[in-house]
């Protein structure tokens, strides 16, 4: 959708309706398409996205909120930056942890779509969740996965999902796994971790941006082992949350 298309669609709406309500009336898919164009249209359109975020503040974070925040984050004007700092100092995903783990670095990397670095930090955070022994060895045993608290795993997954337009995250990988009948061989191929029966070479053969296959990230080398992946995909968090 071009800027001209957006202007035409906007003008066909009832002018008595507040512009943020017009934005809310579109489908989520169209909202995602419109956000970059609204950013390019200037300050009045930035106001629409800021109001949208305020209206959405009490809702469960979603991919439109994530993209709106990311887009505004790149607008380096005092007014917009002050708005984000006052109203969303930690982004749109609450950085909740019952394990006293700090997710600010992961949040910053994902907001800026630095997915390769975010993947490394995610692995570190999962080791922290697993315990001191895992931190020392720098990888997780499948028997340690059940120690992950639902709050922390939900936070990590939400950060990936919300700031990737719904393309990445454990919940995304799990849905694909379920769709292929829990066949890991098929999963690896669908998410681009394997091709022609060969593992994708790390890191250069992986795609570290949104052009990657759905579910491509987070990578986490240890997830290539079926037992760790199976433990993660059957974790109790998925029965407690609507994924």
Check pLDDT > 50 for residue 122: yes
CATH class, domain 104-240, is: mainly alpha
Lowest-pLDDT choice from 5-19, 74-88, 172-186, 192-206? 5-19
Check pLDDT > 80 for residue 13: no
Which of 20-24, 162-166, 239-243 has maximum average pLDDT?
162-166
The candidate with the shortest Cα–Cα distance to 94, out of 120, 60, 64, 123, is 60
Mean pLDDT score of the chain: 90
Question: What is the pTM for the complete model shown?
Answer: 0.91
**Residue scoring higher pLDDT (212 or 2):** 212
Encode 18-30: b = buried (16+ Cβ within 10 Å), e = exposed.
ebbebbbeeeeee
What's the rounded Cα separation, in Å, for the pair 29 and 223? Answer: 31
- Mean pLDDT of the 163-184 span: 97
Question: What angle, rounded to 10 degrees, do the helices at 150-162 and 63-73 form?
Answer: 60
- Mean pLDDT of the 172-186 span: 97
- pLDDT of 58: 86
Banded model confidence at residue 57, pLDDT cuts 50, 70, 90: confident
List CB contacts of 14: < 8 A, sequence separation 6 or more: none
What does the block give as tokens for 218? 């987070």
Banded model confidence at residue 120, pLDDT cuts 50, 70, 90: very high
- Mean pLDDT of the 104-125 span: 97
Check pLDDT > 80 for residue 188: yes
Lowest-pLDDT choice from 77-81, 154-158, 223-227? 223-227
- pLDDT of 221: 66
**Residue scoring higher pLDDT (19 or 191):** 191
Check pLDDT > 70 for residue 111: yes
pLDDT > 70: what percent of the chain?
Answer: 90
């Amino acid at each position: 959708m071009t800027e001209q298309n957006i202007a035409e669609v906007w003008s066909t709406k009832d002018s008595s309706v507040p512009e943020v309500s017009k934005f809310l009336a579109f489908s989520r898919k169209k909202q995602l398409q419109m956000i970059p164009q609204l950013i390019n249209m200037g300050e009045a359109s930035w106001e629409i996205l800021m109001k949208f975020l305020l209206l959405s503040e009490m809702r469960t974070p979603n991919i439109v909120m994530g993209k709106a925040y990311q887009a505004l984050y790149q607008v380096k004007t005092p007014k917009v930056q002050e708005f984000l700092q006052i109203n969303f100092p930690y982004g749109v995903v609450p950085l909740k942890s019952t394990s006293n783990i700090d997710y600010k670095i992961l949040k910053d990397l994902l907001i800026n779509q630095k997915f390769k670095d975010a993947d490394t930090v995610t692995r570190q955070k999962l080791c922290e969740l697993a315990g001191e022994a895992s931190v020392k060895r720098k990888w997780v045993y499948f028997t340690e996965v059940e120690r992950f608290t639902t709050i922390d795993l939900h936070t990590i997954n939400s950060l990936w999902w919300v700031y990737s337009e719904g393309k990445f995250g454990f919940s995304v990988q799990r849905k694909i796994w379920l769709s292929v009948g829990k066949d890991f061989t098929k999963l690896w191929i669908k998410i681009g971790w394997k091709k022609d029966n060969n593992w994708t070479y790390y890191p250069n053969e992986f795609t570290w941006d949104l052009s990657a296959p759905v579910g491509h990230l987070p990578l986490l080398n240890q997830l290539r082992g079926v037992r760790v992946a199976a433990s993660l995909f059957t974790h109790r968090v998925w029965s407690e949350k609507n994924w």
